[in-house]
Amino acid sequence: MELSDKYMFKHKGSYFVTDLVTPEYIDSLEDFEIRDSDVFLATFPKSGTIWTQNILSLIYHEGHRNGTEDTDLLDRVPWLEYNIRKRDYVSRASPRLFATHLPYYLIPKGLRNGRAKMIYVARNPKDVLVSYYHFSKVSVKLEEAGFDVIMERFLAGKVIGNLWLDHIEGWSAQRDNPSILFLMYEEMKKDLRSSVLKICNFLGKTLTEKELDDVVDKASFGKMSVDRRANYTTMPTDLLDFKKGRFLRKGTVGDWKNMMTVAQSERFDSVFKERMEKLPFKFIWDVNEF
């Protein structure tokens, strides 16, 4: 373990939430046994994880789709590295769905060897930063600070998920890997139905038109905001403090413009632009670009 404080510790070059995982558990994930039927969702924090978790849950679980079951996302698509409810992942029935913020180089070797399917969702990093800033107030496990401070930490990679550029470069180097589907938050926002279809095709799942309509409807921001199975309001209060905000906050593209000053935006560009331009993604910064 290289660094430790009340909120985060660094292990193998990556920051993790203190209290929620140990270095030994992270080490053990290298050999975590992967099944061909597993589905992993990988993201940098605040890039649309809960949204895609819900879509996966709706695709796979009829009971979730028609509202007859009362199982929340933490159990439907649990976190690989943060096993908050201490579930037995090894004896879990197939197909197992997992979410992770791990950088590509730390994922289980079974995944790197091409077993299972993975979905990586990316979001424009200014909206990620602003969402992270707001979330650091709601999350009891993240250190609260002013926007300027959080932005400097984000640009230096001293946040959960580490340096956004490293995370996305590591994953996007795999863009020709047929086991990984790459999606963008903004493309989901622009046309959710097409994104859900893309996910279904990738996973080999066939839904009827009605089922598809249902997934799209229940994965909308409005529906998820009031669906306790899908908005993390069932999370323990020692993890999230809902008096300070909501997990589903705004769910828009371009909210960074309401937060960042011109000077902050220019500073952000000066640090990120060069490496961002080499990424194989075209980022959307504003709804007007739709």
For residue 4, how far is the Cα from the chain centroid?
23
The Cα 60–Cα 200 span in angstroms is 10
- Return the SS3 of 121: strand
Minimum CB separation of residue 60 from ligand A3P in Å reads 17
Q: Are 150 and 136 in contact (CB under 8 A)?
A: yes
Residue type, 242: F
Nearer to ligand A3P, 111 or 224 (CB): 224
Minimum CB separation of residue 219 from ligand A3P in Å reads 6
Q: Is the dihedral of CA 165, 170, 173, 174 positive or negative?
A: negative
Active site residue 167: no
Kind of pairing between the strands at 8-11 and 3-4: antiparallel
Binding-site ranges for ligand A3P (CB under 6 A): 43, 45-51, 127, 131, 134, 189, 219-221, 224, 248-251, 255
- Return the SS3 of 273: helix
Nearer to ligand A3P, 114 or 221 (CB): 221
- Strands laid side by side in the 14-17 sheet: 3-4, 8-11, 14-17
Nearer to ligand A3P, 23 or 157 (CB): 157
Of 11, 101, 134, 167, which residue is the catalytic one?
101
Nearer to ligand A3P, 4 or 72 (CB): 72
Q: Are 46 and 130 in contact (CB under 8 A)?
A: no
Minimum CB separation of residue 255 from ligand A3P in Å reads 5
Query: DSSP secondary-structure letter at 104?
Result: G
Minimum CB separation of residue 135 from ligand A3P in Å reads 6
Phi and psi torsions of 180, nearest 5°? -120, 130
- Return the SS3 of 180: strand
Minimum CB separation of residue 213 from ligand A3P in Å reads 16
- Return the SS3 of 43: strand
Residue whose CB is nearest to ligand A3P in the complex, by number? 251
Nearer to ligand A3P, 115 or 141 (CB): 141
Q: Are 77 and 57 in contact (CB under 8 A)?
A: yes
Active site members = 101
